[in-house]
Amino acid sequence: MAAIGRLDLSPRAVMISIAAGVLVLAGVLATGARAERISASIGHGVDGLTAGMGLKLEKVFIEGESPEATAAIQHAVQLQADQPMTSIDLDAVRERVEQVGWVKSARVVRLLPNTLIVDVTEHDRLAVWQTGGRAFVIDGHGQVIQGADAGRYPNLPLVVGKGAEQAASEVLPLIAQRPRLMSRLEALVRVDERRWDLRLKDGSLIQLPATDQDAALIQLDALDQRERLLELGFARIDLRTPEEVAVRPSAGDVTG
């Protein structure tokens, strides 16, 4: 009865309800009927009562979902219009919605008399991970978001190679702090599952060390401020050795 809110019953109605309960119990003892059958019968009676009172499902609102995920979430809800509000298993709906690849967590709220609200939190989209000739959208924990079409996210950073999906969350925030570098980035390539090569759109290559990546990028910042390298272009910058930066100019900058 808690599912249908507070009901104000007269003393006479209370006595009738108690008497009915005693009769049901007597029937169980006399006939040997299974308790769960009686419980189910009572449940159906309550559902019929609440439906007769107008407590039937008419509206389902889904909140927090992205356009790409809407159809899958709607399918997972699996509810029918006009079914009694008390017959809806909120935990079961939540579990079905959370099985959708897009969804990180969900909350389901029954709003009487006729509305269900499904509030979802989706996985964040961190990057597109390319491996084995295929591309996947990954979240901040390196998990593949099932059902996500990588082609629909051209603005996400591209990370390539074995182990890149797990390590991306460490390096991408460092790159994002440097808009000049981020705007020129084509892909981050994982090398030997230890370190990164940054490939820029003009074909330049920046080799990062396996550790202290932030310190290496600070060195790059200083060099770029002094020489404007990101604008002038280069073939390769090797930052793998601490306190040492090796720059190979592009072919067009080499003079005899």
User: Could you tell me the pLDDT band of residue 252, with boundaries at 50, 70 and 90?
Assistant: low
- Rama region for 233: left / alpha / beta (φ>0; ψ in -120 to 50; rest): left
Q: Do 36 and 109 belong together in one domain?
A: no
How many angstroms from the chain centroid is the CA of residue 36?
38
Q: Do 215 and 161 belong together in one domain?
A: yes
Q: Do 48 and 35 belong together in one domain?
A: yes
Average pLDDT of the chain, as a whole number: 83
Q: Do 236 and 131 belong together in one domain?
A: yes
Q: How many domains does the chain contain in total?
A: 3
Digit-coded pLDDT (tens) for 216-251: 999 999 999 998 989 888 999 999 998 788 999 887
Give pLDDT, residue 233: 83
Q: Can you give the residue range of the structural domain that contains 74? A: 59-122
What average pLDDT does this structure show over 89-95?
97
Q: Do 230 and 155 belong together in one domain?
A: yes
On whether the CB atoms of residues 148 and 72 are closer than 8 A, the answer is no
Q: Do 134 and 171 belong together in one domain?
A: yes
Q: Do 103 and 72 belong together in one domain?
A: yes
Give pLDDT, residue 152: 92
Q: Do 48 and 162 belong together in one domain?
A: no
Looking at the chain, how many residues does it have?
256
Selection from 179, 177, 242, 186 nearest residue 216 by Cα: 242
Q: Do 155 and 221 belong together in one domain?
A: yes
